[in-house]
Amino acid sequence: MFINNFNPVAISLFNFDIRWYSLAYIFGIILGWFYLYLRFLKTSEEKKIFSDYISYLIIGIIIGGRIGYVLIYNLKYYLYNPIEILYLWQGGMSFHGGVIGVIFATLIFFNKSKSKVFYYLDLVSLAAPIGIFLGRISNYINSELVGRTTDVPWSVVFVKIDNLSRHPSQVYEAVFEGLILFYILNFILIKNLRYSGVISSYFLIYYSIFRFFIEFTREPDVQIGLLNYFSIGQIISVISLGLGVTIFYFKYEKN
């Protein structure tokens, strides 16, 4: 059993706090950008396009992630406290909302060249597990999205929450949705990058499967609970899995 009592603030300067969660977003985007820049963006034109595209991605992730969280996980609260939608420093981002935000940002950026949409979504999919890994580790440090109670030897007590032994579900997600998904896409399935859209479909399929099963170890959101034994995250994962399979079928068959 491990005791989690980490400070969510990474750096404090002159009454200004920089939190691990913020650093996870910043470094996730920077590391993903550099990874694609060094390994996949070969021509100067591709590098310039992606450098312009990254600002759209950042906006899409933030707006989509926040709106997704508000609508899916805590709509009733924000209807009575709409100004707090802007309080990003308080946390509350939805992965699936971020995915939708990225898709819309990509469609807007490549509105005059639709043929590039899936190619660049494939590139984003290859780098996304880096950000997911850092994000889940920051969730663990922040004692948020905690796991369900358990007596397994590697259980964790999140003292900021209670004194119960819980699954470190954030670490499970960091490993499977971050490290393992990164390896699968970038070293096993990378040959499919030449088939536009296939990598994106694999990303949705594998992420959804990992997320669905790991959610069984994660404490349901208190304001929602379980819906017929399943969490809202699992229900959305089934939908995203279906979307991934649909994209794979049409893109793979087309190619």
pLDDT of 172-193, one tens digit each?
A: 999 999 999 999 999 999 999 9
pTM metric for this prediction: 0.93
Token digits for 113?
């060249």
Cα distance between residue 91 and residue 167, in whole Å: 21
pLDDT at res. 18:
83
Token digits for 77?
């609260």
Cα distance between residue 211 and residue 12, in whole Å: 33
Identify which of 1-10, 59-68, 88-97 has the greatest average pLDDT: 59-68
Instruction: Tell me the residue range of the domain where 125 lies.
Output: 2-254
For residue 116, report the phi and psi dihedrals to the nearest 5 degrees: -90, -10
pLDDT at res. 34:
95
Residue 255's pLDDT band, with cuts at 50, 70 and 90, is low
Token digits for 156?
């964790």
Give the mean pLDDT of the chain: 92
How many domains does one find in the chain? 1
Give the contacts of 160 (CB within 8 A, at least 6 positions apart).
Answer: 4, 5, 143
pLDDT in tens, 34-60: 999 999 998 999 999 999 999 999 999
By residue count, the chain amounts to 255
pLDDT in tens, 53-65: 999 999 999 999 9
Token digits for 21?
């969660």
